[in-house]
A and B are shown apart, each in its own frame.
Chain A
Amino acid sequence: DVKVTQSSRYLVKRTGEKVFLECVQDMDHENMFWYRQDPGLGLRLIYFSYDVKMKEKGDIPEGYSVSREKKERFSLILESASTNQTSMYLCASISRGNYGYTFGSGTRLTVV
């Protein structure tokens, strides 16, 4: 089975901190995605990457950046965490030509 691993299940950070969320997949997938999920708003796309060092903004990129230095790893960075970034963050990957996303287990981030 494809495995998508997110480094932390729960995270508590202070306002203004720089936060790194890591995601690693083990199936050589080209495309990787970061979503956040909030009650009543569903999953919203933050950023995605279709190749090493290639990235595209999603629907809500403000306050976030990403890094993809290796094919298997896609990092989400909160440059200066704010309370409105408290959310569940979900990483997903997919191979080109296959439309079934595989999600990681998610990181529940609380910014205090």
Chain B
Amino acid sequence: QKEVEQNSGPLSVPEGAIASLNCTYSDRVSQSFFWYRQYSGKSPELIMSIYSNGDKEDGRFTAQLNKASQYVSLLIRDSQPSDSATYLCAVIQDTGFQKLVFGTGTRLLVSP
């Protein structure tokens, strides 16, 4: 079983809708979770981090963490065509060395 799993998509949503991206992880001791956005041909950029169960909101983005069920999700409200990108879920594997393990990403397409 992969350590971090994401549906590869593409996930297609119309402009203005809510996009919901999901991620599951296998290591129960993981404590820190991240969402990165990667545009085609570009490097990943950090958009959200979450460490505690529950929701964390930042502008149009909300990260949700459920450690009991081992999943983390990202909601994008009022989706825009500029949100079209691949979203990578990442989990800290080793808190000492701060090694991140990445999912393979979900491609999001927001149509005008």
Can you list 26 A-B contacts (CB < 8 A)? Answer: A33-B99, A33-B100, A40-B8, A42-B88, A42-B102, A42-B103, A45-B99, A45-B100, A48-B99, A50-B97, A56-B97, A58-B99, A90-B44, A96-B98, A99-B49, A100-B34, A100-B49, A101-B34, A101-B44, A101-B46, A102-B46, A103-B43, A105-B42, A105-B43, A106-B42, A106-B43
A43 and B98 form a contact (CB under 8 A): no
- Chain A's closest residue to B100 (CB) is A101
Q: With A31-B97, A41-B104 in contact, is A100–B43 under 8 Å at CB? A: no
**B55 interface hit (Cβ, 8 Å):** no
Number of A-B pairs, beta carbon distance below 8 Å: 49
Q: Which residues of B line the A interface, CB within 8 A?
A: 8, 32, 34, 42-46, 49, 88, 92, 97-105
Which residue from A45, A48, A94, A104 sits with its C-beta under 8 Å from B43?
A: A104
Which A residues lie within 8 Å of B97 (CB)?
31, 48, 50, 56
- Chain B's closest residue to A106 (CB) is B43
Which B residues lie within 8 Å of A105 (CB)?
42-43
- Chain B's closest residue to A97 (CB) is B98
**How many angstroms from the CA of A42 to the CA of B45 in the assembled complex?**
15
Which residue from B42, B49, B98, B103 sits with its C-beta under 8 Å from A31?
A: B98
Q: Is the interface of A mostly helix, strand, loop or mixed?
A: strand
Bitwise, A26-51 to B at CB < 8 A (1) or not (0) is 00000101010000111101001010
Given A31-B97, A42-B104, A58-B99: 14 more A-B contacts, CB < 8 Å: A33-B99, A43-B44, A43-B88, A50-B97, A56-B97, A90-B43, A99-B34, A99-B92, A100-B34, A100-B49, A103-B43, A105-B43, A106-B42, A106-B43
- Chain A's closest residue to B51 (CB) is A99
Instruction: Give the shortest distance, in Å, between A107 (CB) and chain B (any CB).
Output: 10
Give the residue among A56, A90, A99 with the most B Cβ atoms within 10 A.
Answer: A99
Instruction: Give the shortest distance, in Å, between A84 (CB) and chain B (any CB).
Output: 19
Which residue from B44, B98, B103 sits with its C-beta under 8 Å from A103?
A: B44
- Chain B's closest residue to A9 (CB) is B41
